A = this chain, B = another copy of it.
Amino acid sequence: MANKKDFVKEITARDDDFAKWYTDTVLKAGMADYSPVRGAMIILPYGYQIWENIKQEFDGMLKKTGHEDMTMPLLIPESLLVKESELIKGFAPEVAWVTQGGTEKLQERLAIRPTSEVLFSDYYARAVHSYRDLPLKYNQWVSVMRWEKTTRPFLRTSEFYWQEGHTVHATAQESHDETLSVLDMYEKVINQFLAIPTLKGQKTESEKFAGAYQTFTLESMMADGRALQSATSHDFNDKFAKAFNIKYLDNKGKQQYAYQTSWGLSTRIIGGLIMVHGDDRGLKLPPRVAPTQVVIIPIAPNEEVLQAATEIMTDLQADVRVSMDQSDKKPGWKFNEYEMRGVPVRLEIGPRDLKQQQVVLVRRDTGEKIVTPIADVHTKVNELLEEIQANLYQMAKDHLDANIFTATDMTEFKKQLGNHRGFVKAMWCGDPKCEAAIHSETKATARCLPFKQEQLSDKCVYCGKPAKKLVIWAQAY
């Protein structure tokens, strides 16, 4: 451990201070930096490339399912924002207001979008006339603004990047199905691409999105046992249609209200990526999302070594994101640097290796060193990348499974959360008062009513009245 710390002096150990470890990692790995604007961060190329990779993956899925990218304005007139009363109640305390445009004091304040339901609803009210116009499945990749008091890079910033999908359908069944089918796509990206396991469920009334009819969520567990809401999908039913008068003529010539959804995945997930996989050496990136999958480090390189290394790189480039560090820094420095940056595989090659026509492959996830004949490198690298992807998921899944506890009374509940942060499964009567009381006594919030319901007991963990639902509780980011 002393040795380990020695290598990565600049990063606080996770056990010493998890929050500081997180910030150190973000800054030292060059993912983001602070900015002169309170609550806003600079996303540096290494962090942004991760976001671009996520974007490309998910946008491809969206396009395959008939969703179309487009873009709505950044600013929303106050009169439009207040049109759906629950939405504005939820967002009013977080809105940044533009009051001056050029030399002119504005007659009406304009909000920087905290989310764009009202803009889409206003457009749909104008664009939707007949059942033939439906569904419209639109999406935009933009930044939004929610004024935050305390901020942490990626996890909580006033400005963050996301995609927000907004769809409009003919029936309640269709908007319900769309909400769940998008949740499945999120699950796929988060589990398979980011190697983060998730629990799927519905939000309680108090935790659902302002203005939604139902909110569904994917919850993941960070290395410290706290929860991160990783993506949400909202069914509005006809609530916004009624506020904005979005109607269409059905195939019998009758006026009907339309049914809407919205759903979002944000740069917060990069915070999750860091906190699920990272260790005391820094980042550990799943190969599928890693900007660099393999870094080649020539050791004491002569001309032949450099030539061999370049040939290997050229060969790998066909299907691997590979780079080579030829700088005059010491190998030990480079090892630490790329471990900190979470590069999944390091490839070392020196004169002795070359003589034996071999290289050393080093896994970031396990530290294992694998001596590999040069002729087999390409195959072996692809194998390793798949193994690392699977292993990172499995390790996270084991951690999640090992840290879900059950409680049938509040003594047990508090003991579990006190002993080891993690998730607690417990039965609930459905009364928001019990939910609020649990929160105030434990700081845990109802993360979701999981789709996989269980009957742990027949009594509410808080009040002892008949239980209706299993709830997953956790302290959350």
Contact = CB atoms under 8 A, between A and B. Distances in A.
Interface of A: 33, 35-37, 40-45, 47-49, 52, 68-77, 80, 93-104, 109-110, 112, 119, 122-123, 126-127, 138, 142-143, 145, 147, 158-159, 161
Contacts of A42: 70-73, 119, 123
A334 to B, nearest CB: 15
Contact of A103 (B52, B93, B159): B93
Contact of A36 (B48, B80, B97, B138): B80
A74 to B, nearest CB: 5
A224 to B, nearest CB: 28
Nearest to A108: B38
A97 B96 contact: no
B93 A37 contact: no
A336 B115 CA distance: 37
B94 A102 contact: yes
15 contacts: A36-B122, A37-B76, A41-B73, A42-B71, A43-B71, A48-B71, A49-B68, A71-B161, A74-B112, A94-B102, A96-B98, A96-B100, A96-B110, A99-B100, A142-B143
A99 B100 CA distance: 8
Candidate in A49, A69, A70, A122 with the most chain B CB atoms within 10 angstroms: A70
A45 B74 contact: no
B101 A98 contact: no
A159 B74 contact: yes
B69 A49 contact: yes
Contacts of A71: 42-43, 48, 143, 161
Given A52-B69, A96-B102, A97-B99, 17 more contacts: A33-B126, A35-B72, A35-B119, A36-B119, A42-B71, A42-B119, A45-B68, A45-B138, A47-B70, A48-B69, A75-B96, A75-B159, A96-B98, A98-B99, A98-B112, A99-B100, A142-B143
Contacts of A99: 97-100
A77 B39 CA distance: 12
A102 B93 contact: yes
Contacts of A94: 102
